[in-house]
C-alpha cells in the first residue's frame, strides 16, 4: 500500500502589509530628500555662477605699486 504523505510547505517569512508600507514610505522620503537637496544645490551653483560672472579678474597685469585709495 502506497500512502502519500502531503506536507504543505511553510513560508519562511510572512510579512505584513505594514512592512511594505514602512519601506515604501522610507524609500519615498529618501528619494524626495535627495531631490530637494539636489535642487537646492543647483540653485546655489547658479547663483554662485552669477556672482562669479559679475566679478572681473585681471590676471597677468603688472603691478606698478599704485594705490587707488
**Confidence (pLDDT) at 61:** 63
> In angstroms, rounded to a whole number, what is the distance separating the alpha carbons of residues 35 and 43?
12
**Tens digit of pLDDT for each residue in 7-39?**
676 667 778 889 999 999 999 999 999 999 999
DSSP 12-65: S----HHHHHHHHHHHHHHHHHHHHHHHHHHHHHHHHHHHHHH-----SPPP--
Q: Distance between CA 67 and CA 65 in Å, rounded?
A: 6
In tens, the pLDDT along 58-69 reads 666 666 777 776
Amino acid at each position: 500500500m502506497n500512502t502519500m504523505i502531503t506536507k504543505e510547505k511553510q513560508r519562511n517569512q510572512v510579512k505584513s502589509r505594514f512592512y511594505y508600507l514602512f519601506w515604501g514610505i522610507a524609500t519615498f522620503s529618501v528619494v524626495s530628500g535627495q531631490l530637494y537637496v539636489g535642487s537646492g544645490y543647483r540653485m546655489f551653483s547658479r547663483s554662485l555662477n552669477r556672482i562669479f560672472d559679475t566679478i572681473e579678474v585681471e590676471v597677468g597685469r603688472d603691478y606698478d605699486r599704485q594705490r587707488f585709495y
